[in-house]
Each structure stands twice: as structure tokens, then as C-alpha cells.
Amino acid sequence: MPTLVPAGRSQASLWFQACPTMTKYITRLNERRDVAEGTMAFFLEKPPGLQFKAGQYMNFTLIDPPETDAEGNTRSFSIASAPFEADLAVATRMRDTAFKRVFRTLSLKSEVRISGPFGSFTLQSDASRPAVFLVGGIGITPFRSMILQAAKDNLAHKLYLFYSNRRPEDAAFLDELQNVEKHNPNYKFIGTMTDLPKSKRPWQGETGYITHEMLRKWIRDLNAPIYYTAGPPGMVAAMRQMLTTSGIDDDDIRTEEFTGY
């Protein structure tokens, strides 16, 4: 039976009012744009009543897509927008899979089913310890949310973002994440590029992989912070190993694997 939506009321708000205790929503795609080469951000209407913590993720389901494959019509994405922002944003590497072919061509205002939020990959409440974010590529999504929200809330936490990409062209949200330094004196951006000769953009920051030596250059006491890393399993494993061989206690390492990469 078709659902009737009164003028001025979105399907998303009606769905939420009908099921206030459920964590499933129908929302709409508002906008999408490239945020790096091969990486696209999608901005969806934030359903009224949806509350999440910076760092959490949701499941996104395409409704009756024109094509599908063995992986199905649902993907998990970390929420890249901060809770205070108007839209619900995600960002993803645009690989040639059925889900992403449909997502990148979906008409604006199309409905998308979402559920969540899920996960406990969120900033520690203890502001006396620095938080160090070790990030490669698309793993930036939960950290963009945490970093923007911390700036908005004037949090006292010292935050260090180590952000590794092959080239500046590949680094999603690069300028924005650098600019947050102007608004939050407790935040330090440390970008590093691993394949700079292939870049056409100027770069003044670090080069090469995130290593023990790079951490020591920027952090006086390596045992003081809580370390966070997210992204494809290979990147997360490499960062965990680097931290472990640097003598960091397992209890001080928090990870989120983007399974599917």
C-alpha cells in the first residue's frame, strides 16, 4: 500500500514518529560530491530524533536497486558528519561494485533505508590523556566526525591526527581537517604522503608511512595517549603492530576495521 506523506512532512520524520523506539529510518539523499580522487561523500537528510556519537557507524540499504550482487544491498559506513551538523554524511572509495554504481547515480531525494547507530568507537571521556588518531585513506570518516565535534564543543582533549595518503589528491577532507587547527588550539594535524612524486599539488607536510619515529617526533611521551585507528583491515593491523612494537599497552589502542576492503 502506498504511504501518503502530507505536504511539508518528510517520509523520514513520519517513519520516526510511527516507530520511536526503533533504530530504522527511511531517509533521502540530499547531495553527493567528490571529496578526493575516487572518493565521494553522500549527504542524507538526518531523521529527526536520530542521535549518535561521533565515531559511530550505521547500515545503509538501497531500496529496490536496479542491480545487485552477492554482497547484497546493504553496507556499513562510519558517520563522517559530526552530530552537530545538519546532514548525515558518509564517504567511500568509489570502487566498481553494484552497490556503489547504484549509490553514485541515485537521483537526489531518493529514499535510502538506514539503521543504527552502532559501535563504541568514540572519543574517551578522560580529557587528561591525549587522543592520537592514526589514519590511512578512507579510515578518516569517524575521525572527521570526532574532530569537528570536539572543536565545536571546545573539548579540552589534546588531539593529534596523523593522516596518511598516497598524494594530497587522494586525501578526503584534507583542507577542512587542516583548517580545524585555526579553531581548536588543542588539535594538531600531521599529514603525510607516501607517493608524493605522483602528485601535482604542493605539499609542505610529512612524507612516508606513519612510523614509530614519526610519532616520537610529535609526541613527547608515547605512553600518555590513547591511540585510535580505523580503516581497511590491512591498515589497522599495520598500525596496531607499529604501536605494539613501540611498547604501547594493548588497553590504550582502540580500533575499528572496515571489513569489506
Ligand X SMILES: Cc1cc2nc3c(=O)[nH]c(=O)nc-3n(C[C@H](O)[C@H](O)[C@H](O)COP(=O)(O)OP(=O)(O)OC[C@H]3O[C@@H](n4cnc5c(N)ncnc54)[C@H](O)[C@@H]3O)c2cc1C
User: For binding to ligand X (CB under 6 A), which residues are involved?
Assistant: 57, 71, 75-78, 90, 92-93, 95-97, 99-100, 138, 141, 256, 258-261
Instruction: Work out whether strand 226-231 and strand 253-257 pair parallel, antiparallel, or are unpaired.
Output: parallel
- Residue 258 CB, shortest distance to ligand X, in Å, is 4
- Residue 172 CB, shortest distance to ligand X, in Å, is 9
Closest CB to ligand X among residues 203, 261:
261
Q: Which residue is nearest to ligand X (CB)?
A: 260
Closest CB to ligand X among residues 131, 172:
172
- Are 125 and 99 in contact by the 8 Å Cβ rule? The answer is no
Closest CB to ligand X among residues 169, 257:
257
Closest CB to ligand X among residues 3, 259:
259
- Residue 66 CB, shortest distance to ligand X, in Å, is 15
Closest CB to ligand X among residues 68, 186:
68
DSSP secondary structure string for all residues of 158-225: -EEEEEEESSGGG-TTHHHHHHGGGT-TTEEEEEEES-GGG--S---SEES---HHHHHHH-S-TTSS
- Residue 246 CB, shortest distance to ligand X, in Å, is 25
Distances (CA, A) of 201 to 136, 193, 258: 19, 11, 28
- Residue 243 CB, shortest distance to ligand X, in Å, is 20
List beta partners, residue 29. Answer: 44
- Are 25 and 12 in contact by the 8 Å Cβ rule? The answer is yes
- Residue 125 CB, shortest distance to ligand X, in Å, is 21
Closest CB to ligand X among residues 75, 157:
75
DSSP secondary structure string for all residues of 31-76: EEEEEETTEEEEEEE--TT----TT-EEEEEESS-S---TT-SEEE
Closest CB to ligand X among residues 31, 71:
71
- Residue 87 CB, shortest distance to ligand X, in Å, is 15
Among residues 26, 20, 36, 1, which one has the least CA distance to residue 109? 26
Among residues 34, 46, 25, 13, which one has the least CA distance to residue 112? 25
